[in-house]
Structure 1
Amino acid sequence: MGTQTILIAVSLSLATLLLIWLSLVMAAAESAVSRVTRSSLNNLILGLQTDNELSQFSRMKRIDKVHKVQSLIIDRHATTGSCAFFRVTSNIFTGVLVACLASLFDLPEWSDLVIGLVFAFIVAFVSVKIRPRVNGARKPLDIMLKHVKVVSFAVKLTPFARSSRSEMMAKSGRDSDLSDDEELEKLQIEQGRAMVDQLVEAGAFDPEISEMLDNVLTLSTTLTREIMVPRTDMICISDETTLSSALKLFSRSGFSRIPVIGDDVDDLKGVLYLKDVVRSIAFDPDSEGRVVAPLAREAVLVPESKPVDDLFHYMQKTRHHVAVVVDEYGGIAGMVTIEDAIEQIVGELEDEHDRIQHEQPQQVGEHEWKLPARTPIAELEELFEIDIDEDDVDTVYGLLTKLLGSVPIVGSSAVTRGLRLTAADAAGRRKKIATIIVEPASQYEAPEELAKEGARESA
């Protein structure tokens, strides 16, 4: 055998091995792409954004991989079709190359064809039935992240795979952006809801119980962003605040857990617990002047796209009652508690301390009014015969929030146009300001100083 023949044999062997590898990769990806869920990708991005051990370069590189996988599962049918096309093509060319390789040894032509066909069949069998498919089913996310570049390249080379998307969706009746697990869960929810409706019609349950059962079935389709307290309504505390001031804020706000921040809300330092502050002051009264930063516990972060049922089980399992919600860019979107998830099932939760908001303004003094927080500014102008001229807010609560520059709590006050607005009380489990006292400001008070004072009190 000459040198040229040896080089050809080596080249064919390497090409054959490359095609075998490509066939196995495409088989694994074909199985994995239908099992990767959107929630798992969102959770992975959150984990990467909060992993302090990673460098910025490594973090962005891995997040870019996740984004590529997200683009692949937008049209699962097209991605699966591309993987299947390259898997079959690789198997065919593997048989052809093996047949060419066998022809170098001066074997009969029929034996070259038989060897090529048998080898192609073996590779096809292995790629479909053995380890690649198993790994794709057990570790779909790992498979897709490992081979995302190869799969993306295969999808780009097979644009014709997208043309059959509508036809395949019509035949299967499936949404292309759902994984197999998500499709099964959707079917089970629909079946469960139909069963609940039948039981209600048969009189097996009270209307309240049937409503709760229906709420349970909708937990998987309700996202955390729909039940969270938005960042604009969050009560936060600076990491340089003293323990005595923190204790006053706990008392006035009615909350037992408050986020600790640095320069702004996105600079989250942790979560401060009332019981930690009380314990620290009770055992060491001299600690009242210390800052709260050392007592802040590590905050639990959850993505805003997390389904409420997953959120509830996660918080129940980790024994956390409050979590900070982050958006897709890693910024703080809001807060959520385990009670928020429970309320999605049983409805609004209130205790004996919750006050009912007045529906109409009440005059409590000669020139003093108690107004519901949502009273329009126009009504306030009419009561006191003044022109406030605030175009970017519509309610008395919004006006007080704008004057303070932060979320009002009970006792917060500010002055504008000769009127003093004071947050009187809170209502509901979320302790939102329910009523605001409006009265003429004292002629001896400087409006600017009072506004600053109120802002400091609510900070």
Structure 2
Amino acid sequence: MAKPSTTPGFFERLSSLLLREPEDREQLMKLLQSAHQRKLLDADALSITEGALAASEITAREVMVPRPLMEVVDIGDSLETIIAQVNRTAHSRFPVVEGNRDKVIGILLAKDLLRVQREVGFDLRDWVRPAVFISEFKRLDGLLREFRVSRNHMAMVIDEYAGIAGLITIEDVLEQIVGEIEDEYDFDEADGNIELDHSGLYRVKAHTAVADFNAAFGTCFSDDRCATVGGLLLRELGRVPLFNETIAIDGTNFQILRADSQRIYTLLVSGPPDAGDPQ
């Protein structure tokens, strides 16, 4: 019979380190960083732990998709219109509104449309699921707990006047803890920095070098003060752009496909009319 291992596990080593009883969050973070330096925590574990601690101080308002940028479905839309919107956005969930964005009556799951392709007399009301409403001041750690218990993946964020301020998904919350989560609609690591999108435009990774972008699109952006396309947009705006925001620079339009509160990840680009096809 094999003898049980006497090597202390991760939690035993971490508990031993924390016997110093940190008095505040700053001391706790220093202990965790010390654990990383002593190889008790790897870089990923440290990053996730820091993200989990930070989530208790971040509110829904800080990471939500703002109301003007929400992709919504109107209760009066036809099945054909809704399917076209699903194909265009590749989202899995949509707030359903009646008349205006302050009147959200529920959530539509794109997967439900697979069951109604042949339905005669389609009525969207039959497929709307209840919406969850939360305060814009809701902390992410509590919201994640609610998502897990209720099995909802999207919540509508309301402001102090009970108006719709935006929406937030479980992915938005998790990305604040574990970092960017890529799905089947994101670039694969093996893909190039510039790829043709199904829309006929081009997906561009924000870390693409300005010089490479110029060569592909026939533009003449300077790389004296920023080396990447993402840096070019940050310099132009003076802030991190919002999801789905569009920025025009010298005739080139950049739409933000993926971004969080700290950085840009992916762009959708339409070049000047006389630009050649990127290679």
SS in 2 for 1:353: coil
More helix by share: 1
122, 131, 155: which one pairs with 1:299?
131
SS in 1 for 2:147: helix
Question: Counterpart in 1 of 2:178?
Answer: 346
Question: Counterpart in 2 of 1:243?
Answer: 79
Contact (CA 8 Å) 1:234, 1:335: kept in 2 or not?
yes
Question: Counterpart in 2 of 1:222?
Answer: 58
Note if 1:335 corresponds to 2:172.
no
Question: Counterpart in 1 of 2:246?
Answer: 397
269, 272, 276: which one pairs with 2:112?
276
Q: State the structure with more CA Rg.
A: 1
Note if 1:439 corresponds to 2:235.
no
CA distance in 2, matches of 1:432, 1:273: 25
Which whole-Å deviations, capped at 9, do the CAs of 1:199-220 have from their partners, x for residues lacking one? 2232211122212112112221
Question: Counterpart in 1 of 2:156?
Answer: 324
Per the TM alignment, residue 397 of structure 1 is displaced from its structure 2 partner at its CA by 1.8
- Give aligned pairs, total: 210
Compared CA separation, residues 374 and 262, structure 1 to 2 (3 A): farther
- Give the superposed CA RMSD: 3.7
SS in 1 for 2:246: helix
What's the TM-score once normalised by structure 2's chain length? 0.63
More strand by share: 2
Compared CA separation, residues 189 and 375, structure 1 to 2 (3 A): closer
Contact (CA 8 Å) 1:302, 1:325: kept in 2 or not?
yes
Compared CA separation, residues 209 and 296, structure 1 to 2 (3 A): same
Which whole-Å deviations, capped at 9, do the CAs of 1:177-204 have from their partners, x for residues lacking one? xxxxxxxxx9675564344233223221
CA distance in 2, matches of 1:231, 1:323: 12
Please tell me the residue identity of whatever aligns with 2:132: V
Note if 1:254 corresponds to 2:90.
yes
Question: Counterpart in 2 of 1:108?
Answer: none
Contact (CA 8 Å) 1:324, 1:336: kept in 2 or not?
yes
Which whole-Å deviations, capped at 9, do the CAs of 1:388-430 have from their partners, x for residues lacking one? xxxxxxxx92469xxxxxxxxxxxxxxxxxx89797x955799
Contact (CA 8 Å) 1:312, 1:338: kept in 2 or not?
yes
CA distance in 2, matches of 1:199, 1:365: 47
CA distance in 2, matches of 1:308, 1:187: 23
206, 213, 234: which one pairs with 2:70?
234
Please tell me the residue identity of whatever aligns with 2:179: G
Contact (CA 8 Å) 1:253, 1:431: kept in 2 or not?
no
Contact (CA 8 Å) 2:136, 2:158: kept in 1 or not?
yes
Contact (CA 8 Å) 2:253, 2:269: kept in 1 or not?
no
CA distance in 2, matches of 1:341, 1:193: 21
CA distance in 1, matches of 2:30, 2:95: 42
CA distance in 1, matches of 2:104, 2:171: 22
Contact (CA 8 Å) 2:254, 2:267: kept in 1 or not?
no
SS in 2 for 1:439: coil
Which whole-Å deviations, capped at 9, do the CAs of 1:353-381 have from their partners, x for residues lacking one? 313525444577899xxxx79977xx9xx
Contact (CA 8 Å) 2:258, 2:265: kept in 1 or not?
yes
CA distance in 2, matches of 1:364, 1:191: 49
Per the TM alignment, residue 296 of structure 1 is displaced from its structure 2 partner at its CA by 1.8
CA distance in 2, matches of 1:315, 1:219: 14
SS in 2 for 1:350: coil
Please tell me the residue identity of whatever aligns with 1:434: L
SS in 2 for 1:281: coil
CA distance in 2, matches of 1:295, 1:432: 32
Contact (CA 8 Å) 1:261, 1:267: kept in 2 or not?
yes
301, 312, 317: which one pairs with 2:144?
312
CA distance in 1, matches of 2:266, 2:76: 25
Higher relative contact order (CA 8 A, sep 6+): 2
Please tell me the residue identity of whatever aligns with 2:130: E
Question: Counterpart in 2 of 1:211?
Answer: 47
Per the TM alignment, residue 432 of structure 1 is displaced from its structure 2 partner at its CA by 7.3
Q: Which runs of 5+ in 2 are unaligned?
A: 1-21, 188-192, 194-203, 220-228, 237-244, 275-279
Q: Which runs of 5+ in 1 are unaligned?
A: 1-185, 380-395, 401-418, 441-459
Contact (CA 8 Å) 1:236, 1:260: kept in 2 or not?
yes
Which whole-Å deviations, capped at 9, do the CAs of 1:221-253 have from their partners, x for residues lacking one? 111111211112211122110112111111110
Compared CA separation, residues 349 and 420, structure 1 to 2 (3 A): closer
Contact (CA 8 Å) 1:373, 1:436: kept in 2 or not?
no
Please tell me the residue identity of whatever aligns with 2:37: E
Per the TM alignment, residue 292 of structure 1 is displaced from its structure 2 partner at its CA by 2.5
Between the aligned residues of both structures, percent identity stands at 27
Please tell me the residue identity of whatever aligns with 2:270: I
